[in-house]
Structure 1
């Protein structure tokens, strides 16, 4: 009846609140950085967002000043937000300085944050896939390295099976330089180290990054 529907609506509102991020105001502030908004002569205040990244009063003053004069410069990448802020970060005036350095740094930092629960959940899903029950003793540094490689390959639109390692990296595999922290704990036999080195280098040349991501 009516009471059941009311309880269902209340429960639905609770679940909706749980799905929304706690930093919803931060996300609203980030929308000010869009190419359409940030180039308007009259735009929203940027200091609310800037306060989340720095408390230095002089830096905040610079950011506010740079934000207010941003539309005075003629930009070419006005249809894509990320490309626009990349252009702002690389901009140089007649003196070779970037008059928007502080603003661009804050903007790119804010835009690099995950903006939805889906992004965070996707990252945790990949983390659980890499650090499975069979590999529950994996160190955090190894997990971070594998995830960095996975996302790096994705950004380059390439696959681990076809990726070619740089020659200087291949030369280090199996050498004292690459495994010095292990060798200091337990010195292996020279013959064993040599055999391991040649095997790893040969296998890596054959399969690229596949061993690291699939094992």
Structure 2
């Protein structure tokens, strides 16, 4: 539109347009800065987990190790677990070979969760991907937790006060799965995947052995 003849004839309006855009971006940046601590030991290092950074050899020159990030999340990686830290760091250093091994899959990967979910299925980068997914799953504020509390109160009402924790947890997971971006936002249009159907067996659904439920892999959804 900026190249349209009617627009070209009005340079003053173009100048005003660019000024407004700049002011909008400036205001947005200031508001974000108010809400986030850019010096946070975790937030300031999350750039490393983005696909463009993680798969770049040039970026790895500046960030050769993930040790500072691992030290910032002791609940994910224990401070005394040097073996696990070293394993993750070794995989980080050779991560660039993943792009050579899986060029088609990683070529158009732009979302961090897509990248690490893909690498999570490989043996060479399993520990690194597990760590990255755990870090990315951390809420940046308590808003998400508060929403879950509110939904729990709607599920476990006075009339349903005997629901056990496993049932409430399953209901919450089903709700999140149904409203995902690929599910059109409701349970009416929800279509279980083949993997989900494969898990719906009598042995898993009606087993009396509690361990059978704890060993079921998490349902994958976006």
What TM-score, normalized to structure 2? 0.53
Kindly name which structure, 1 or 2, has the bigger radius of gyration based on alpha carbons: 1
Report what 2:174 is aligned to.
Answer: 149
The match for 1:82 is 113
5+ residue gaps, structure 1: 1-16, 92-97, 182-215
Q: Structure 1: how far apart are the matches of 2:189 and 2:125?
A: 40
Q: 1:57 aligns with which of 76, 82, 87?
A: 82
State TM-score, norm by structure 1.
0.55
Larger relative CO (CA 8 A, sep 6+): 1 or 2?
Answer: 1
1:138 matched residue in structure 2: 163
CA distance in structure 1 between the partners assigned to 2:187 and 2:61 by the alignment: 47
1:138 CA drift (Å): 2.7
User: Once superposed, what is the RMSD of the aligned Cα atoms?
Assistant: 3.7
What are structure 2's unaligned runs of at least 5 residues? 1-33, 100-105, 210-222
Q: 1:160 aligns with which of 179, 187, 192?
A: 187
Q: Distance in 2 between the 1:36 and 1:180 partners?
A: 47
Assess if the C-alpha contact under 8 Å between 1:37 and 1:43 holds in 2: no
State the Cα deviation string for residues 66-116 of structure 1 (Å, max 9, x = none). 21232344242442212222232234xxxxxx3222211111222233333
Distance 1:34 1:27, change over 3 A: same
Q: Number of residue pairs matched? A: 153
User: Which one of 149, 162, 174 corresponds to residue 124 of structure 1?
Assistant: 149
Distance 1:133 1:43, change over 3 A: farther
| Aligned partner of 2:68 among 30, 48, 53 | 48
Note closer, same or farther for the CA distance 1:152–1:100 as it changes in structure 2 (3 Å cut). same
1:3 aligns with none
